[in-house]
Chains A and B, each alone.
Chain A
Amino acid sequence: MTISVTITVNGQQETRDVEPRTLLVQFLREHLQLTGTHVGCDTSQCGACVVHIDGKSVKSCTILAAQAQGAKVITIEGLAQDGKLHPMQEAFREHHALQCGFCTPGMIMSAVDLAQRNPNPSEETVRHELEGNLCRCTGYHNIVKAVMAGAQAMRG
């Protein structure tokens, strides 16, 4: 049995027939081939799969694709606009906030949401807000710097 799901992903309306148990992250990776969103665990701990649903950061492994019916989803692939990197993407590169790059898409998507809610976050706020995103490479030191710098750049 399959169901039809329609989600607007990165500005594009996408309709697919999927198994009802399909998670949003599977919909993105397996049905739309948007493989920038990663899966690093199966308990919604690691945050590698964070995307924005109607403007808010959500772990896309925690919800079914069907629950996102009609929603607007932005993935890491949709963050840069008109060929220009988002300020948070720029900040991650400038501050060496990534090594293997696997946690990076989820980390950046969480950071953008964080900065939208906290335009001038303290180091403590950034560390607290990012506790749902695991990184094994960087020790977070440069991620924290990048998020603070990215938030400042987003303020303009």
Chain B
Amino acid sequence: MANQGIGQAVRRKEDFRFITGQGHYTDDINRPGQLYAVFLRSPHAFAKIRSINTDAARKMPGVVAVYTGKDVAADKVGGLICGWTVKDKQGNPHKAPRHDIIAIDHVRHVGDQVAVVIARSTSEARDACEAIEVDYDVLAPVTDVRSALKPGAPQVHADAPGNLCYDWEFGDKASTDQAFAKAAHVTKIELVNNRLSPNPMEPRSAIGEYDSGTDSTTVYTTSQNPHVIRLILCAFVLGLPEHKVRVIAPDVGGGFGSKIFNYAEETVCVWAARKLKKPVKWTSDRTEAFLTDAHGRDHVTHAELALDKDGKFLGLRVATMANMGAYLSTFASAVPTYLYALLLAGQYTTPAIYAEVKAVFTNTTPVDAYRGAGRPEATYVVERIVEAAARELKMDPAEIRRRNFVPVDAFPYQTPVACVYDSGQYAKALDEAMKMADYANFAKRKAESARKGNLRGIGICAYIEACGIAPSAVVGSLGAGVGLWESAQIRFNATGSVFVYTGSHSHGQGHETTFAQIVSDKLGVPMENIEVVHGDTALVPMGMGTYGSRSLAVGGSAIIRATEKIIDKGKKIAAHLMEASVDDVAYDKGIFSVKGTDKQVPMAQIAFTAYVPHNYPADLEPGLEASAFYDPANFTFPAGVHIAEVEIDSATGVTTIANWVAVDDFGNVINPMIVEGQVHGGIAQGIGQAMLEGVVYDPKSGQLLTASFNDYCMPRADDLPSYKVGMIETPCPHNPLGVKGCGEAGAIAAPAALMNAITDALGTEDINMPATPQNVWRVIQRQNLAAAAE
């Protein structure tokens, strides 16, 4: 018991099934009589569908049905929805053009669904897809935001003139203009935040199953939030009664945001299963994943920072164009707005901030939340421009940050962009990180590299994020269509073991262990007697799921509230058993006692008594279970400092990461082993963005050129270093666990840290992510030519 509670690196309960090949991912599930769906997808980025002939396909072996958008429309199926309405500068709602689950008259990106074949096997369905004849009127596409906003650009949707989804602003323009008017120095920067493909290793998959006897539908799907999927499918897309639909998200092989959303394919599986009265299964292949999983990032930004003569930040002005892709995905509109501009204060006291964001439709895969979602983009802007300002002013980049940090005694701290930071020790994290990185001796190491003919750079990123998403009333006022509380239920069995039901969903985060640790700690139940249950709407109370580093801060807090209710009821039973007054009963780690006596009763006996209530308080219900719903009072604000050090081979442009230090403040830590693992993974995705990854569309044809792991450079073991991870713990003051969330930090911090190191080494800000050897080499050649010309 002693080594299993809060703060201990408990080994994961879930691991046994995964290391022995006994996980149950959606594609591992097969239902009796199951049929297989394969989608015919558009080969064109933009085209009008003149006609579709499915006659030959229907006659192919094994084919049960072939459906097109017209069949779906005939059943009055709704389009996919965006669940967050952003209002533009004039207060008008964003443009959310119809998004059919199978295209009807136009296809708007390569991979758009054109038809679905349902057959007895995947291979037969695939063969039949090739027999479908589609007559396209191919149109000129537009793939990037700058081109899409130009007059005369191809119009992706007739009802979104100029391809504009919204033109939005946030912050105080007048006070920001005043700050710039009195500035001693203004730093300007142009940044591209490259488009990424999330690429969880498990491709999406879904099974729809219909029981006509009870008129009930079961959906197995790769989701981070099964209740949200049920709500959207029932209330908006298929119009089914919620109590007749069960959504199960079993073991899910990574999500990183991409499995939050309601997608066309799972919706088609449900619709077709009900039509055919047979289970219908679809599993994505990897190229389909590249074409249809919502992408991340894709911003083009101009930013300006106003400083006084001492390097104090006076104001920040940001103008961003955000690529939404061809349709508005489930939460897409919130990402470049409320999850972005509200974080532009960073860790600093910048008093005036103004941001403008134009969201733009293009003929590309929809873009939505990807690990960090808006916050990496904000951090990238803030930390690149702060570093650039330090260089222009010839100040130490650590010192300029220190001068502008929100001081420890200023919390709760109200920023000019709506956030109230909960707690933090920003300078302490910087000091610690600089020590771990041996920052003081960097010049020596740089000289050594120079002797070898190599370049060396060091880069800092002091990031902040808003997690624990989120207070329902706040997000409601900002346009969210849902509340963002979380649910928990604790159910004791008569023999003292416990079920913990959580509305959060684990797809790698280790909730089965972390949540069990909390319950073990609070209720004194051994870890092996606790079963954490998640991912099934038939078992778990309505919950909102896992994204935005919210599971522990919101879902864990709900569990704490449920444990408190269990303890309260336990005290009443204990008082009866020990013939004492309830007020005299004390509770500590699974033991109820009468204050000032040696009388005590363990939790297991309380549970047994609750279910075998022969000797029991007359006015108390039998049973021992409690539900709780937790709606947070504020966001949490994890923060920290990452320092990257790189060595660049000046002959080849190959960048080697020589050192990586992360010092993060996630508030209290429940399981340091799991938290460090989250940091490692986040950093790897951030390094991927900065050095390796990037979605590339051919601008002329709109073809996705990076549609396989051969073409899209995923970080591999030999691309990455080991990381030095340190932690400081400043508890969150407003949730019962004092936790802030750790899932996204690495991906938020890493790109700016690494690009600051690379630009430090190269001596220019003028390089975009991904800083591949080719891109770096080109910059070196450009610098050499410029030097030679002087």
Contact = CB atoms under 8 A, between A and B. Distances in A.
A103 interface: yes
Interface string B24-52: 11011010000000000000000000000
B545 interface: no
Contacts of A144: 717, 722
A139 B683 contact: yes
Contacts of B19: 76, 85, 89, 92-93, 98, 101, 104-105, 108
Interface centre among A33, A42, A75 (most CB of B within 10 A): A42
B218 to A, nearest CB: 19
Interface string A105-143: 100100000000000000100111011011111111111
A131 B718 CA distance: 6
A140 B677 contact: no
Given A100-B202, A105-B21, A123 B722 contact: yes
**Count class of interface residues, chain B:** 35 or more
A141 B680 contact: yes
A130 B710 contact: no
Contact of B286 (A19, A41, A80, A133): A41
Interface stretch (A43-51, A52-60, A64-72): A43-51
Interface in B718-735: 718, 720, 722-723
A27 to B, nearest CB: 13
Interface centre among B17, B25, B680 (most CB of A within 10 A): B680
A41 B681 CA distance: 20
Interface in B192-247: 199-203
Interface centre among A29, A128, A137, A139 (most CB of B within 10 A): A139
Contacts of B681: 99, 136-139
Contact of A134 (B15, B716, B722): B716
A42 B203 CA distance: 11
Nearest to A77: B21
Given A85-B20, A99-B681, A133-B717, A41 B708 contact: yes
Interface in A30-44: 33-43
B198 to A, nearest CB: 8
Interface in B282-313: 285-287
Contacts of B252: 100
A94 interface: yes
Contacts of B14: 101
A37 B510 CA distance: 21
A140 B252 CA distance: 19
Nearest to A103: B201
Contact of B508 (A19, A85, A99): A99
Nearest to A141: B680
Given A138-B680, A139-B683, A99 B709 contact: no
A21 interface: yes
A41 B707 CA distance: 11
A141 B723 contact: yes
B778 interface: no
A142 B508 CA distance: 14
A134 to B, nearest CB: 5
A53 B32 CA distance: 31
B11 interface: yes
A43 B714 CA distance: 13
B709 A102 contact: no
A80 B18 CA distance: 13
Contacts of A48: 201
Nearest to B29: A35
A96 interface: yes
Given A102-B202, A141-B722, A37 B509 contact: no
B224 to A, nearest CB: 11
B286 A43 contact: yes
B721 to A, nearest CB: 9
Contacts of A41: 285-286, 708-709
Q: Across the A-B interface, give the 3 residue pairs with the lowest CB-CB distance, nearest first.
A: A36-B21, A102-B253, A101-B18
Given A36-B22, A43-B710, 11 more contacts: A80-B20, A96-B673, A98-B15, A99-B681, A101-B14, A102-B201, A103-B201, A127-B717, A136-B200, A138-B680, A142-B680
19 contacts: A37-B21, A42-B287, A43-B709, A45-B714, A76-B19, A96-B673, A99-B508, A100-B201, A100-B252, A101-B251, A101-B253, A102-B201, A127-B717, A130-B716, A131-B718, A134-B716, A136-B201, A137-B201, A139-B681
